[in-house]
Structure 1
Amino acid sequence: MKIGLGLPIDDPALLLNWAHRADAGPFSTLGLLDRLVFDNPEPLITLATLAGATSRIRLQTEVLIAPLHNTALLAKQTATLDRMSGGRFTLGIGVGGRADDCLAAGIDIRSRGRRLDEQMTRLRHTWAGAPYGDGAGPIGPAPVTPGGPEVLFGGFAPAAVERVGRFGDGFLGAALPPKHLSGLFREVERVWEKYDRSGRPRLVAQISVALGPGDTVDRARRNLLDYYEFSGRAGYMAEGLLTTPGRIRSAVAALSGIGADEVVLYCWSSDPDQVDRVAGAVF
């Protein structure tokens, strides 16, 4: 099973260090989250920078809140990133749920699901080289990956699972224990069959980790609490932070047992020595 590394967001200047270390090590993927009204780096710009600093590891949004973005520009940005990374880009995508993000982007939070469905139709057509529509021709460059970059949908609602069958290549499940995530994985597989898709969906899980001295772990916990404050579940999310090699190995084994193809270990503290600590814990 593949093991990815989720990048911290509290000190963007250190992310090149993280990327160099991870690319030289055994990790499969670098993941980065998305928010608009928050103190985090913009994910597509950041991953493009990291693509130029790496040669092997994949680059993944976890997840990009697509309804906040202009669709034509998003098609161009993601195709460019896929091409410039040599096909190493995975577009993890979702609707988001924060009212302030939607307000800042000028969209109605109640219509974000419908907007994402419309965006995915447009993105797939654009990546295939079709005219964008409404008098507009094709938008290049063409992605190096046939049909466009790999797309993973994140979320918990039935609509998110349904989108995997309609538009996606797989599913990204975060912040759920294995026994609950297993149910979502099985539902994704049922939807895949419902749409008569060939092969099988790629199933990716994400867990939060922090390895190191007390200040590293404390900072990770504070960052988790800050990020999830809006949800009313911040305490629960911070309690799920795994801070020992044994607990991380056990969680990875449990997620492998429910069929995860990849587990992304999301780090919430910018201490770059965690790259080597986490590698030592799980490989």
Structure 2
Amino acid sequence: MQIGMTLPVMEPDLWSDGPTVLEEWARAIDDGPFASLCFGERMAFDNPETLTLLGAVAAWTSRVRLVTTVIVPQLHDPVLLAKSLATGDQLSRGRLTVGFGVGGREEDYRAVGADLADQRMAEMARRVGVMKQVWAGEHVTDSVRPVGPPPAQRGGPELLVGTMGPRTIRHAASWADGLAGVTLDLDPEATGALYDEARAAWADAARGEPRLTTSFWFALDDGSGEAREQVHRHLRHYMNWLPEQLVDAMAPTTGFAGTVEELRVVLDRFAQLGTDEVHLIPTSSDVTQVEQIAEQLGELVA
């Protein structure tokens, strides 16, 4: 099983020195034994714009895969999004994996003037189909030349579908290469059931074996006993579209808070399920946690 690390793009203190923080994290991830560098998209929030950041991390790294977890196609024009992602794939020399999701926040749709009626799996699939046409070099407009550049990876980057449920899996089996999952409460049984659903759906669609990834928030215990409170603070900031009392109720059992040794046990459980990759989501912008995980879990994440 491989391990990916997510950039701290959703941290409230990021922009005190955002460019430096993001570059330090990107280089630390690339220098470590991690398989991928991940980052997600929000609109009505203070995170960096995803496609702009893609160009930066392509320049700051040379080895790890770059994974968007996730982009919401309905917030973008599909032709322009295809061009942007193909450019990112070229700039990273074919290291791009794209996670797509419908998105659960109506405020993000409203922020860009997107139609809430498009917040559907069928519409996401339609837009992915347009992007695949662009990446194949087909004419999707009446222009003299097709929209380019071509992606570095023939046919376009690997595509993962962001999901927490079986309905999404069944809808995406026809176009996705795998799952960009998330587990809130680190429940291996529930995650394993989703994996089984994906394997069955991909088999029914004659798509071979799906790539199975999941993710969760983490905070490392430094001896102060504040790791759980760190996760709680992060969730209050990130989940600002939910009632605060609901977030407070979720916080004690959401994500991981503990030592590196305890994290190893959790990762082993997900490895036993057949997980191809776990994407760790930080709840602090302190880059030393990347170095700590790389040092102590190096043989696991290699």
The TM-score by the shorter chain falls in which range? Answer: over 0.9
Matches of 2:157 and 2:190, distance apart in 1: 28
Question: Against the structure 1 CA distance between its residues 96 and 187, is the aligned structure 2 distance closer, same or farther, given a 3 Å change threshold?
Answer: same
| Contact 2:135-2:155 at 8 Å conserved across structures | yes
Give the aligned partner of residue 257 of structure 1: 272
Give the aligned partner of residue 3 of structure 2: 3
Question: Against the structure 1 CA distance between its residues 144 and 215, is the aligned structure 2 distance closer, same or farther, given a 3 Å change threshold?
Answer: farther
TM-score when normalising by structure 2: 0.87
Deviations 1:80-115 (A, max 9, x none): 101110111110110101111111121222322232
Matches of 1:241 and 1:22, distance apart in 2: 21
Give the aligned partner of residue 195 of structure 1: 205
| Alpha-carbon offset, residue 228 of structure 1 | 1.7
Give the aligned partner of residue 45 of structure 1: 52
Give the aligned partner of residue 279 of structure 1: 294
| Contact 1:27-1:57 at 8 Å conserved across structures | yes
Give the aligned partner of residue 150 of structure 1: 158
Matches of 2:95 and 2:171, distance apart in 1: 22
| Contact 1:164-1:188 at 8 Å conserved across structures | no
The 3-state SS of whatever aligns with 2:174 is: helix
Unmatched runs of 5 consecutive residues or more in structure 1: none
| Alpha-carbon offset, residue 220 of structure 1 | 4.5
| Alpha-carbon offset, residue 160 of structure 1 | 2.0
Q: Which of 219, 224, 228 is the aligned partner of 1:210?
A: 219
Give the aligned partner of residue 179 of structure 2: 171
Identity %: 35
| Alpha-carbon offset, residue 266 of structure 1 | 0.9
Unmatched runs of 5 consecutive residues or more in structure 2: none
| Contact 2:217-2:231 at 8 Å conserved across structures | no
- Mapping of residues 1-283 of structure 1, within 5 Å: 1-9=1-9, 10=11, 11=14, 12-13=18-19, 14-113=21-120, 114-133=122-141, 135-136=142-143, 137-176=145-184, 177-197=187-207, 199-211=208-220, 213=222, 214=224, 217=227, 218-231=229-242, 233-235=246-248, 236-237=250-251, 239-243=253-257, 244-283=259-298
Deviations 1:191-219 (A, max 9, x none): 1011111x311000101112264598444
CA-based RMSD:
1.9
Deviations 1:171-202 (A, max 9, x none): 011024211111111111111011111x3110
Deviations 1:217-244 (A, max 9, x none): 4444312222123245523256323232
Q: Which amino acid aligns with 1:221?
A: H
Q: Which amino acid aligns with 2:209?
A: R
Q: Which amino acid aligns with 1:246?
A: E
TM-score when normalising by structure 1: 0.93
Question: Against the structure 1 CA distance between its residues 269 and 146, is the aligned structure 2 distance closer, same or farther, given a 3 Å change threshold?
Answer: same
How many aligned residue pairs are there?
281
Which range moved further: 69-78 or 153-162? 153-162
